[in-house]
Amino acid sequence: MSASLAVWQSKDVSGVPLTTGAENGALLTEQDLIVRSREGDRAAFGQLYLLYETGIYRYAYRLLEDADEADDVRQETFVRAYQSLARFRGEAGFRTYLLTICANLCRDRMRQRQRRPVTSYGLAPSEFSVVSQSFAPESADPFHQLERADQAERVWRALRRLPAAPREILLLRHVEGLEIEEIAQIVGCTKISVPVRLFRARRQFKDLFLALLQEEGE
């Protein structure tokens, strides 16, 4: 009795139950979690949440550049994902499914933002608060680490200068690592037009990035 209770009640700091009635303590695959979630097991969905929330939040932030909004989008993404889980047939991965929802939400937000232009007060977060926490595991050299962090930071700044559409496609391809088909699904265009868009996005990014490098060099 007490043992089973312990299993039910064991939660991590975020309040998500680690296991939910997992038989014999066997590890549950993502597919199992999805099936259980679809059957209404919110705890299983909580596991999925834990798996993907950071990625979704980051993706949203990269597009929206607003932590609160990204946070909202994360919440909304998972709520909608849960509600329309029945429609998720597993053709694409669960991450793609979440990203599709998230991208749509972000696009909605940006559209709203266009109607109500945001005037930001003070400094953008990246310009003052971000101290890269990146420590590449393969290199113990602090200088190397610092250099990489600078480089990542530079990329982010270039990305921020990129308009939303190319930024989105670039992120999906090179940061999220999605295939052309998946990108077409998320962005909502034909498969054929993705490479062209991608090419333009890459080119724009490259120009911006090189311009940043040049600025720093001066």
Residues at the site binding other proteins, with contacts judged by CB under 8 A: 14-16, 42, 45-46, 49-50, 53-55, 57-58, 61-62, 66-76, 78-79, 82-83, 109, 115-117, 119, 125-126, 129-130, 132-134, 136, 148-149, 151-157, 159-160, 170, 174-175, 177, 195-196, 199, 202, 205-206, 209-210, 213
Residues in Cβ contact with 85 at an 8 Å cutoff, skipping those fewer than 6 apart: 34, 37, 38, 45
**Least spacing, CB of residue 29 vs other proteins, in Å:** 20
Closest CB to other proteins among 35 and 155?
155
Closest CB to other proteins among 2 and 129?
129
**Least spacing, CB of residue 105 vs other proteins, in Å:** 9
**Least spacing, CB of residue 1 vs other proteins, in Å:** 25
Helices and strands (DSSP H and E) totals, the chain: 10, 0
Closest CB to other proteins among 2 and 9?
9
- What is the CA 173 to chain-centroid distance, rounded? 12
Residue 161 vs residues 96, 107, 113, 133, 144: alpha-carbon distances, Å: 25, 17, 17, 22, 26
**Least spacing, CB of residue 194 vs other proteins, in Å:** 11
**Least spacing, CB of residue 44 vs other proteins, in Å:** 12
How many residues can be counted in the chain? 218
